[in-house]
């Protein structure tokens, strides 16, 4: 499995993030997360999950809050 797949799978399995469209783009272990979430706690959780995923060296957060 590649890094992108690890991160996406982990995000999908998280109850608080199910149903949200979070885009994961990976290059050499650097992960960029983009998407719109409802609150800061969800953003923090997505970043935490990405950082803990196998093969991730850095996470670049471009997630935004729903207006």
Q: Which domain holds residue 24?
A: 3-65
Q: What is the pLDDT of residue 1?
A: 67
Looking up residue 43, the CATH number of its domain turns out to be 3.30.1340.30
Residue with tokens 């960029």: 32
Number of domains in the chain: 1
pLDDT along the chain (67 residues), means of 10: 92 94 96 97 98 96 95
């Amino acid at each position: 499995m590649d890094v992108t797949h690890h991160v996406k799978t982990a995000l999908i399995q998280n109850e608080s993030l199910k149903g949200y469209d979070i885009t994961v783009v990976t290059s050499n272990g650097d992960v960029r997360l983009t998407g719109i979430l409802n609150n800061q706690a969800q953003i923090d959780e997505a970043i935490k999950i990405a950082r803990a995923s196998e093969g991730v060296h850095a996470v670049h957060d471009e997630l935004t809050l729903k207006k």
